[in-house]
Structure 1
Amino acid sequence: MARFVGREHELEALDRLLAHAHNGTGSIAALAGEPGIGKTRTAEIVAERAERQGMRAFWGRCNEEPGAPPYWPWQQLVRSWIAAHDEDSINRALAGGVAPLAEIVPDLADRLPEPLRDRAVAAPSTEVAQARFRLFDAVNTFWQRAAQQHPLLLVLDNLHWADASSLRLLEFLAPDLAGSRILLLVTYRDVELSRQHPLSATLGELARQPHFERLRLGGLSHAETAHMMHLAGGATFAAALVDAIHVQTEGNPLFIGEMTRLLAQEGSAAGTSRALRIPEGIKEVIGRRLNRLSASTNKVLTAAAVIGRAFEFRLLTALADDIDEDACSAAIDEALQARVVEALREPGHYHFAHALFRETLYDEIPVPRRSRLHLKLARAIEMICGDDLEPHLPALAHHHWAALPGGDAAQAVDYAQRAARRADCQLAHEESARYCQMALQAMDVGTGLPRETRCSLLNALGTAHSRAGDWLQAMQTFKEAARLSAEYGNTKELAHAALGFETASWSPGLPGGPAAELLREALAAQTSADPVMNARLLSALARALIFSGEEEQAIRVHEQAIAVARTAGDPATLADTLVATVSLRWQQERIAERIAASDEAYELARQAGDRILMCATRAWHLFDDFELGDMAAWRANLEEYEHGGETLRLPFIRYTASMSRAMHALFEGRFADAERLIPRAYEIARRMPGMDAAGAYSVQMFTLRREQGRLHEVAPLVEHFVQHTSAMDVWQPGIALMHVELGQMDAARKKFDALADSDFRAIARDGVWVANLTYLAIVCHALGDAARAVTLYQLLAPSSGRNLLFGTAIASFGAADAILGALSATVGDLPRAQQHFEAALAMNERQGARPALVRTRLYFAQMLLRRGEPGDLEHATRLQNAAREEAAALGMTSVVACIDAASALAQTAAMEHYPAGLSRRETQVLRLVAQGKGNRQIARELFVSPNTVANHVSSILSKTHSANRAEAAAFAIRHALL
């Protein structure tokens, strides 16, 4: 370990990161480069330096062969940490996270102190995305607590070989490392990364972290090459030979070292390049080094290469059964002497000195012989580990698959299926998908295998894709499963395919038409003998119909689903159906039905002891309480909901609760709290596959910046987001509102006219329908579009007396009556507008909705100023002053500016003098009379009622001593009022 050359710059950077981690500021560092460039060796030097500074270093090495268990590098890290600590330390680090960690380290219980073993049991069943979050969160918490005891260096070596599930776990942990005493060091080959390689996406995620640093290792300099040759060969080489080797190896340390050893073996240490042909590549050097070993040693090492870079002696002897144990041992001794193989700490375990030794040997095996060796190895594993094959399923699946086409296809399918199920239990969905694909490939090779197996394999593959958040791939797979199941008459697999397709389509918010078609096909194939499956299919169909805009049909189907679930006689099925279909009652007029359904589901879940389902039903009460403005009940239910989430460690509950807290902060005008809470909710959702983290985050930030008068800061980002998201149509009403807020009235009008076509039928009647109509109602009022205001009023009228919500827990506009009042004023129905405004003022003040209260006062004041009846000016002034004071206190700068501008305009108007004692409003009416307009036309133009105009005209005639409208018009002309 003492022989090390170069890398001063990289070690200096890593020393700095070690010091930061020691002081509580963690980071991620990556050592990248070509094979043999010294990534692992540099990491070993960093580990030595870390331990000298009082840190603890632990390694997780990724296997190049794909037969390793899921999360293999993380298993190694956890196991080695536990092996190095006493019972008290382990207890502090694990705390309540033993059960989740047991999912990722199956033999964890055997490694724990006695008091902790009983807690290393399977975690309670939860929805899959939440279960995986719970697992990842437990691993994250474990390392955070472990680092509180000692600062840590965690090394993930050869990350380019990591399974995709391990990479997802790394992405999950990355954001929290900055606040820990952990330096996470990864090494990987960058020359092997295509855009499709799983590591490419992970590196993109890591690069987003401000505490990520990438160091690319290049070749050694000429002087460093000479120094390394001297250390490796124990002699001084001729300058010309050093020159030639430096040029040929491009400073690759492994190439230099192996070339120097080859020279030493061939007696050419003092020679020159003229007397020696220097190999063109590192594998040729390795090949020549291997050729200097005996034939029996090469044969044993070839067998070892089939096992992998690391291998066990007893498995090696079983594989090389034509060589006796003594000869096998002698071959290993020769390989150790030649530094081709290295002994590991565990007796009887070895690995190749570098992965390139294993790769070179493996690549030289002819394909037919390679297949036979893989099959032989699989048989050896079965023989040696026959009593407990479960931990070895990944290796058995790989070797039986690699043995094809000469191997046993049926066994390859069986082991791949079992490995996939095991990966599912460990929440390694990407690995599960890989094993399902291996099983399908094995079916293509084999003959006489049951064709129904392909249907179940496709459904399992689709489920794995779906659980990993790969929705489009999942939909394609489920569609193929449905096609084959229908062709084979397999109604069970057809139902599973249809259900899987619907889940994969609605999770990312895609249209539900294709899912509805598949579900109808599955329902038509079912019999009435399975009410549980029929209830599930009907529930899914109802949701698909909602996502395809068929609301009335969806309601009929969902009522049928509940009726079927009641006949099943299973409380859990009925509770699931009620919860699955409660979202179909999102309409304002159906809130009583929604509450009744969620109450019934809660009681059923309570009787069944299903705490997870109890929490799911409690969520709907939260939304209803907020919509009804019962904030005391909302707070009480939220505390109960959060407590259930913490007890069960369910991330979706944490996300919903965090988002609800952010919404409430916006609702009350606690913008500083919102700035902190919104990103927190986003971080939770971002780590859960299938969550619309960006969408909900964007709406909450849009709401916050609008209230703060800072929309101009995010307008370009919003436009870019809308142009590059599949939910472009959903955002159009918000874009129209943004144009209004920024004073871009022409753009707002263009967008509004497009969306208002056919009485707003283009606005999808989904969970954000009310929010989109609210956005458009605000735009409509700003544009003064009386005709469209009538339609919008009719659509939003059922919300009177309630709060308007964006979604269920994203944002709230406050009392709906404020928006209904603004629409009434736009139409010119001022008495109704006043009733709505007074109701909105009372509700917003009662529930502490301060931003909504500001806007309600402003709407009301504007209406009073337009009406101009006795006392309206004073009332409007009081409302404006109160609105300005509140807006200034909250930091609603654009609202303050708007009020100040209106006040300045009012002061200018107050300084104007009109003849005959006419008021400003009467002068406005007289000008329109002089233009020949009737009372209804004037009413529409001034946003007042015809009765109000008639009153103004009567007053004008009296003050100007005019007998009729013509004389009044003449008065206007004489006094230059036109």
Structure 2
Amino acid sequence: MGTRVTSARVVGRSAELAELRAALLDAAARRPSLAFVAGESGVGKTRLVRELRQLVAATPVAAPVPSVAPDRPAGATEEAGALVLAGECVQLGDGELAYAPLVGALRPLLRDAHPVLETLDPATRRALGRVLPGLDGAGEAPGPDVDDGQGRLFEALLELLDRLAADRPLLLILEDLHWADRSTRAFLTFLVRSLVQERLLVVGTYRHDELHRRHPMRPLLAELERDARARRIELRPLDREELGELLADLLGTPPDEALLGRLHGRSEGNPLFAEELLAAGPDGRGALPSTLRDALMVRTERLPADAQELLRVIAVGQRVDHDALADVAGLDPRPLRDALREAVAQQIVVVDEDGRYAFRHALLREVVDDDLLPGERAELHRALATVLERRLAEGASGVHLTSGIAHHYAAAGDQPAALRTAVRAARAAREVHAHGEEADLLERALGLWPAVPDAEAIAGAPRVLLLRDAAQAHAHLAEHERAESLLLAGLDLGDEQDDPRLTAGLLERLARAQWALLRPLEALATTERALGLLDGLVCVEHARLVSWKAKARMLQGRYGEVVALAREALVLAHAVGDRISESRARNALGVALAATGRPDDGARELRRAIALAERDGAVAELGAGYVNLADALHIAGRTREAREVTRTGLRVVPAPGSDHRWQQAVLSELSFALGDWDEAAAVLPDVTERRSSEVGRLNLLLRHADLALGRGDHEQAAALLPEIELLGERSTEPQFHVPVAMTRARYEERVGDLDAARRAIDAGLDRIELCAEDQARMALLSAIGVEIEATAAQRERDRRADDGPARERASAMLRRVEAAAADAGPTERANLLHARADHDRACGVDDHATWVAVAAAWEALEYPYPAARAHRAAAEAALRDRDRAAAEASLAAARSIAERLGARWLVADLERLAARGRLRATEPPDAAAPEERPAADRAADPAAEDPYGLTPREREVLALVADGATNRVIGERLFMAEKTASVHVSRILAKLGVRSRTEAAGVAHRQGLVD
């Protein structure tokens, strides 16, 4: 009876195949999809995606094309098979083989000269040429300061995928994501966030049992799998019946019950394990190995000696072409062919599309590699490195080649060669903007440095430059602590007077790292130290330092100083031809102009900064340009435009890490302001994943606190506040001083501690007045101060206490708002209207019409949340004036907005107000507008005198409650039993919708229910 090693068909995976098929149909209908296939080793992930490929090749994909598709009639369908691209991640050292699965997936396009490649513009071809040598020249490698082109490469890859999917769906398969390199992980993040209507299905496979707690793919997969377009397909082991089908296919006849039971018990339903156990012995009995590793070793040990030697070479090389295999194995052509045929015939080795040999399954490779003796493994690594070095000398190129050489020399223990090739591979990684791989390779080189004699000559560069470049690579990944330590090590290597320009360059990078770590005073001191070294020198380093200082002072709100520094930096930048310095200087200048009443001039400078950064591919400056342009527009009241700018920035600046997360936080802030709280929450990164700089983390925490307070999740807000305040204390930026103080004040006001809220406002104002000229943010914080003092004054009047101090503080806060609002834009004007209305409330002259005007001002800006709060204040003012129709109209407007936003605390507050005033929650269908209803009608309304339904007796009781009388005193004064007085008080609290006697007294005074 013949026995195959691998089943000819997929068993027990019909539901999973259907799910993948559905995802592909979505992609065909211009709804890009993602599918992640997870499972343990050997459970059949690769087999499943191979079956999907065969299914796609054999069956056309039909899906309706939406009417938005260009040049296609509504309801049209397209019959076309999907294009399939597939690549796999490689387990190589620390994952320094950048873009491995993408290169593997795209290489067939280059090999087959796919016509789409000819349609790409030269810039896109050049960018792709960095990872696909042969498509176009890769160009010169950028210097260490201009290596921000990863975004440009990602855009080029996206454009290629989009063009490939123009006429038929594209299936992109990326296998073994648990081994994904940093750059592939970054591209996956970018791709998911950039897809809109591409006909693309991305299928990724990974071993969930490989994802330990600190595995870098773990947080990324958690984030990606939360996407609404994502599917997670987990492959379970086969049950007994399904395993029987598999064995029947292998054996050619159904297995007997004994064999089935034996194999199911030993394999536990793992298809690969079952296949290998059967291949090791058709009866599944006796001395068969008890582990999968042993089962796989039995397979390989049955091969002839020459074939086993080839397996060892392939295990070390992972994917080896015929010539390299011949060179390393040292076999003559005929024995080599015979050995390879045997390994392929036994289904241990397969041949890929590029003619390279690899193991059929990664587990097979792993057990062979594990079985190698240390010296044997080192010898094979050295031999493979020698073969690849020869190819490099003959003109071959590519980051994978240089990385492979470096890996093999390191694994061989050849330290001089490992140092030399690690530096070379790091430069190649920088050329393709693979910052993570560059950092890993440079760290390896630096680790080898002390052990290698004459290391500088072998590396081709002094150690200080390797430290500088490694720090820059880490900075791109928001790993600022490591960048700082590397820069300090570089500064310790020499006398700063020996090479002041080099030292100044190191200090500039150090200052930026210190700023990101929320140590601004150190950062500025470092900047001044560097400037002192360059006094009188006109050079790139000088231009970078002055432009950086301009940016730092801009972040601190020192706008007068910023203008002078920015103009000085522009002169230096033009003199040395450095566009990065020019972009940074124009960025700082634009923010300063916008913040000092010249928003159009500021926006113009910021757009020029963006254009300069885009021309050079300077992602850091490009991201800062989009963020600051959005902020300037938002402050000017053009928030919807600001949100579109931010969305563009997220598409154009796909920098992974903190830069990208900052832009997401900005988008969340703008969506929150515009009332789209669902988007605000959806785009906001999870704060439990600490992948941001300290300053970036503070920004994220504040955005989460905004949402928590808005939605009424006070427990979450309280949990976030300690870290927010701890980080905020270390900052000197008004962009943080104000929201930190606002968050604490809002929380304390919400829970009723007005003294704590007042302290938060005072502390925030003290900080911003000492270090900034940011009038707009100062006015925003002061306006909240007016609101808190108004509530405090109201509370004092409720207690029949002196409200004078609160009114005086409210007036002082209002003067700050008025000073900032002079000749200001619509946001400041709306803020001023709100503050004046609160000041009126502090003085006890609350007016419904004033609050209606405030709500209209916020609505004109499309800010629904403050508009809803103004409507709520208008309802209470109308209720106090006994104008029930106006109160109900304002209440209905507030509730409509609050419910749409999901502001649960505000909805609850409005319900309490409605209950106290016995108001309808929605406006009557034909109710006249408040201003159109005659006063006589309002006076004639019986409920106007008694909006809460209190009886005359209850009004008498309430008057005594307002005076602070106890139940016993009430009974004595009104000649009733104390128990009867208690019942009256309980009914009054229920009718007023309050929970305490103090609240009842406040309502009584504010609504004129007592004298």
Q: TM-score, normalised by structure 2?
A: 0.69
Residues 1:61 and 2:67 aligned together: no
CA distance in 1, matches of 2:613, 2:151: 25
d(CA) in 2 for partners of 1:618, 1:235: 66
The aligned runs of 1:513-592 (5 Å cut-off) are: 513-526=521-534, 528-541=536-549, 543-544=551-552, 559=564, 562-563=567-568, 566=571, 569-570=575-576, 572=578, 575-576=582-583, 578-579=585-586, 581-582=588-589, 585=592, 590-591=596-597
Q: Which residue of 2 aligns with 1:430?
A: 436
Moved more, 771-780 or 854-863: 854-863
Q: Which amino acid aligns with 2:370?
A: D
1:937-976 to structure 2, matched below 5 A, reads none
Deviation at 1:285, TM superposition (A): 2.9
Partner AA of 1:381 in structure 2: L
Q: Does 1:377 align with 2:387?
A: no
Counterpart secondary structure, 2:393: coil
Structure 1 residue 53: deviation in Å?
3.4
Q: 1:351 aligns with which of 335, 346, 358?
A: 358
Q: 1:70 aligns with which of 98, 123, 126?
A: 98
CA distance in 2, matches of 1:5, 1:565: 69
Per-residue deviation, residues 201-240 of structure 1 (Å, max 9, x unmatched): 2222233224444444444445655665565567898866
Deviations 1:909-953 (A, max 9, x none): 9959xxxxxxxxxxx9xx99xxxxxxxxxxxxxxxxxxxxxxxxx
The worse-fitting range, judged by mean Cα deviation, of 210-219 and 690-699 is: 690-699
Alignment of 1:402-801 (within 5 A): 402-404=408-410, 409-450=415-456, 453-484=462-493, 491-507=500-516, 510-526=518-534, 528-541=536-549, 543-544=551-552, 559=564, 562-563=567-568, 566=571, 569-570=575-576, 572=578, 575-576=582-583, 578-579=585-586, 581-582=588-589, 585=592, 590-591=596-597, 649=652, 671=675, 674=676, 711-722=710-721, 730=736, 731-736=739-744, 738-739=746-747, 742=750, 744=751, 746-757=752-763, 760-761=766-767, 765=771, 770-784=779-793, 785-789=806-810, 791-793=812-814, 795-801=816-822
Q: In structure 2, what is the Cα distance between the partners aligned to 1:353 and 1:679? A: 44
Cα distance in structure 2, aligned partners of 1:825 and 1:39: 68
1:340 is aligned to 2:348? yes
User: What corresponds to 2:332 in structure 1?
Assistant: 324
> How far apart are residue 312 of structure 1 and its match?
0.2
Residue deviations 1:727-760, cap 9 Å, x none? 5675543335544875x4x234323224425963
Distance in 2, Cα, partners of 1:563 & 1:372? 59
Please list, as runs of the form range in 1=range in 2, the aligned pairs for 1:44-59 lying within 5 A after superposition: 44-55=50-61, 56=82, 57-59=84-86
Compared with structure 1, are the counterparts of its residues 618 and 73 closer, same or farther at alpha carbon in structure 2 (3 Å cutoff)? closer
Partner SS, residue 42 of structure 2: coil
Judged with a 3 Å threshold, the aligned counterparts in structure 2 of structure 1 residues 759 and 200 are, in CA distance, closer, same or farther, namely closer
Give, in whole Å, the separation in 2 of the partners of 1:865 and 1:219.
67
Counterpart-to-counterpart distance in 2, 1:555 and 1:790? 28
In structure 1, distance between residues paired with 2:629 and 2:242? 70
**2:930 aligns to what?**
none
Give distance in 2, aligned partners of 1:510 and 1:717: 24
1:195 counterpart SS class: coil
Q: Deviations over 1:137-172 (max 9, x none)?
A: 554455456445333443222222221221222233
CA distance in 2, matches of 1:604, 1:172: 23
Whether contact under 8 Å (1:555, 1:584) holds in the other structure is no
Q: 1:817 to 1:611 in 2, by over 3 A?
A: farther
Using the alignment, how far apart are the partners of 1:334 and 1:719 within structure 2?
Answer: 67
What CA distance in whole angstroms lies between the structure 2 residues aligned with 1:227 and 1:61? 29
Counterpart-to-counterpart distance in 1, 2:869 and 2:569: 48
More divergent stretch after superposition (891-900 vs 131-140): 891-900
Q: Secondary structure at the match of 2:753?
A: helix
Equivalents in 2 of 1:844, 1:31: separation in Å?
A: 48
The structural deviation recorded for 1:539 is: 3.9
Q: Which residue of 2 aligns with 1:313?
A: 322
1:366 aligns with 2:381: no
Question: For residue 127 of structure 2, what is the amino acid of its counterpart?
Answer: E
Q: Match of 1:250, as an amino acid?
A: E
Q: CA deviation at 1:314?
A: 0.7
Q: 1:109 to 1:180 in 2, by over 3 A?
A: same
2:260 matched to 1:252? no
Question: Can you give the 5+ residue segments of structure 1 that lack an aligned partner in the other structure?
Answer: 112-116, 264-268, 806-811, 867-872, 913-923, 929-976
Decide whether aligned partners of structure 1 residues 658 and 337 sit closer, same or farther in structure 2, where only a CA change above 3 A counts.
closer
* Offset from partner CA, 1:840-861 (integer Å, 9 cap, x none): 9998899788987898899899
Residue 316 of structure 1 aligns with an amino acid whose one-letter code is L
1 CA distance for matches of 2:128 and 2:153? 8
Amino acid in structure 2 at the alignment position of 1:384: R
Alignment-mate amino acid for residue 347 of structure 2: R
Q: What is the match of residue 18 of structure 1?
A: 21
Q: CA–CA distance in 1 between the matches of 2:594 and 2:196?
A: 44
For these two proteins, the number of residue pairs brought into alignment is 859
Q: Give me the whole-angstrom Cα distance separating, in 1, the residues matched to 2:455 and 2:711.
A: 63
Change (3 A) 1:604 1:642: closer
Letter in 1 for 2:474: H
Residue 39 (structure 1) aligns with: 45
Contact between 2:546 and 2:566, CA under 8 Å: does it hold in 1?
yes
SS in structure 2 opposite 1:390?
coil
Q: Deviations over 1:631-656 (max 9, x none)?
A: 7xx99x9899799979x945699999
Q: Give the Å deviation of 1:801.
A: 2.7
What is the root-mean-square deviation of aligned Cα atoms in Å?
A: 5.7
Report the CA distance between 1:258 and its aligned residue.
Answer: 3.0
> Partners of 2:240 and 2:860 in 1: how far apart?
79
The DSSP-based 3-state class of the residue aligned with 1:70 is coil
Residue matched to 1:278 = 288
TM-score (norm 1): 0.71
Corresponding position of 1:815:
830
**1:154 & 1:487 partners in 2: Cα distance?**
52
Write the letter of the residue equivalent to 2:289: P
Q: Which amino acid aligns with 2:377?
A: R
Query: Any idea what SS the aligned residue of 1:255 has?
Result: helix
Deviation at 1:31, TM superposition (A): 3.2
CA distance in 2, matches of 1:167, 1:660: 23
Q: Structure 2 vs 1, CA of residues 896 and 248 (structure 1 numbering), >3 Å: closer, same or farther?
A: closer
Letter of the structure 2 residue corresponding to residue 195 of structure 1:
R
> Who is 1:933 aligned against?
none
Could you say if the C-alpha distance between residues 326 and 515 of structure 1 is closer, same or farther in structure 2, counting changes exceeding 3 Å? farther
Q: Which amino acid aligns with 2:813?
A: L
In structure 2, do the counterparts of structure 1 residues 418 and 577 end up closer, same or farther at CA, with 3 Å as the change threshold? same
Identical amino acids, percent of aligned pairs: 20
Q: Does 1:136 align with 2:154?
A: yes
Summarize the Cα distance change of 1:27–1:546 in structure 2 as closer, same or farther, 3 Å threshold. closer
Q: Per-residue deviation at 1:334?
A: 2.6
Preserved contact between residue 758 and residue 785 of structure 2 (Cα < 8 Å): yes
